Structure 1
Amino acid sequence: MELLKALIRAIVMLLLLPMYVIYTGLAMLSNKDDAVKACTQFLSLLPGKTGSYFRACFCSVIFEQTDNVVYIGFGTVFSQQNTTIQTGVYIGPQGNIGSCLIGKNTLLGSGVHLLSGKNQHSFDDPDTPIKDQHGEFSKITIGENCWVGNGAIIMASIGDNCIVGAGSVVTNDFPDNSIIAGNPAKLIRRK
């Protein structure tokens, strides 16, 4: 069985070779984040488990320390190259994943957005358009064995064994074993 899995992975990697060449070319012409966006948007359109497997294999090559034993749902795109996805992760459809580390066996529901920190945009200078004011990206962490409900927006780190209610907006860090919900998210209780 392991030999068959290795053979299938090798075939998929060969099929992905043109996409990797495109990624490398785009990264040289602009930057790696733009290349990640373009390629993952294209691959996000492949349906079913086959599409998820193609996305997982591609991400395991372009992201550091990313496992290919993950599920990446239809329509999910990535916006930052500085992303780590550990083994057993499930990312539901229509997600938007920024700079983050997603811990082992974590489940992200449909439409979950993991932003690259909470300071991505600056609006300190009223005389400069917001689009011209640069913020800063930071890598957030979603701990191991977490469950994040549909439509949650997370822009801060959460610990291991956490539950985030559907539609929550997480703007502050939360420790291990937290159950959080709301907008902005608040601690409901500790497990």
Structure 2
Amino acid sequence: MRQFIKQSLIILSQITMSPLIVACKIEEWLTKGNSESVFGFCSHVVALFPGLPGAFLRKAFYSLTLEYCSTDCHIGFGTIFAHRSAIVEKHVYFGMYTIIGSARIGEYSLIGSRSSIISRNALHSMGEDGHWTAFTIDSVARTEIGSNVWIGEGCTVAANIGDSSQIGSGSVVSTDIKGGILVTGNPPRFIRHVDLPGNSK
């Protein structure tokens, strides 16, 4: 019964969000995915819906506009997806005011409030005129966050993170982190291996 009610609320939320969803789909079709202006506007709008209704409306919107977004996730107040190429697996939790670029977030991962997961490639390059070039969709590459990863509050992540790793609050991750370890700092330093079920002591 609980699952039926939850699914019904998600469908109702998707219907409620249909004007924004349709606008994003039209933009994607007309520009062949080379513009995200309408998507960006809608992301800012849905970020501001408060409380539990807002959480349902956000995942309803993103489930039909991102490359993939499970409806079994939580997207906190103020959280913004910058690119529709993001992938959100089942049971992912995003705290408040999180910013997500082009990234795949593995199932059961926890992303702390005020964290940023940046698209992997450098989005700008130095032009021949000595100025930084403008952002283009083609310059975006996906950051891979493994399953069961815990990213603490206020982190900035611009590299891949392996399964079951933990990133301490306030860390800045610019190089890949292997799975099953706790790191913290800027640059991140190894603290210890994460105790996983089934591991021998």
TM-score, normalising length: structure 2? 0.86
Question: For the structure 1 residues 28 and 181, does the alpha-carbon distance in structure 2 shift closer, same or farther, using more than 3 Å as the test?
Answer: same
Per-residue deviation, residues 23-50 of structure 1 (Å, max 9, x unmatched)? 1233345545333311111100001121
Match of 1:57 among 57, 60, 67: 60
Asked if structure 2 preserves the Cα contact closer than 8 Å seen for 1:118 and 1:171, the reply is no
Query: How many matched pairs?
Result: 190
How far off its partner does 1:106 sit? Answer: 0.7
Aligned pairs for 1:1-150 within 5 A: 1=1, 2-28=3-29, 31-123=34-126, 125=127, 127-132=129-134, 136-150=139-153
How far off its partner does 1:118 sit? Answer: 4.6
Which structure 2 residue ranges, 5 or more long, are not aligned? Answer: 195-201
Distance (whole Å) between structure 2 residues aligned to residue 64 and residue 22 of structure 1:
16
Identity %: 30
Per-residue deviation, residues 60-79 of structure 1 (Å, max 9, x unmatched)? 11123320111111111111
Distance (whole Å) between structure 2 residues aligned to residue 53 and residue 164 of structure 1:
27
Distance (whole Å) between structure 2 residues aligned to residue 133 and residue 148 of structure 1:
27
Asked if structure 2 preserves the Cα contact closer than 8 Å seen for 1:118 and 1:156, the reply is no
Distance (whole Å) between structure 1 residues aligned to residue 124 and residue 164 of structure 2:
30
The one-letter code of the counterpart of 2:65 is I
- Name the SS for the 2:189 alignment partner: strand
Asked if structure 2 preserves the Cα contact closer than 8 Å seen for 1:94 and 1:110, the reply is yes
Question: For the structure 1 residues 132 and 44, does the alpha-carbon distance in structure 2 shift closer, same or farther, using more than 3 Å as the test?
Answer: closer
Distance (whole Å) between structure 1 residues aligned to residue 72 and residue 176 of structure 2:
27
Asked if structure 1 preserves the Cα contact closer than 8 Å seen for 2:93 and 2:109, the reply is yes
Which structure 1 residue ranges, 5 or more long, are not aligned? Answer: none
How far off its partner does 1:55 sit? Answer: 0.6
The one-letter code of the counterpart of 2:22 is V
Asked if structure 2 preserves the Cα contact closer than 8 Å seen for 1:24 and 1:35, the reply is no
Work out whether 1:156 is the aligned partner of 2:167. Answer: no
The one-letter code of the counterpart of 2:20 is M
Distance (whole Å) between structure 2 residues aligned to residue 118 and residue 186 of structure 1:
23
Distance (whole Å) between structure 1 residues aligned to residue 186 and residue 130 of structure 2:
29
TM-score, normalising length: structure 1? 0.90
The one-letter code of the counterpart of 2:149 is C
Per-residue deviation, residues 99-150 of structure 1 (Å, max 9, x unmatched)? 0110111111111100001522323x57421244879321011111111111
CA RMSD in angstroms, aligned pairs only: 2.0
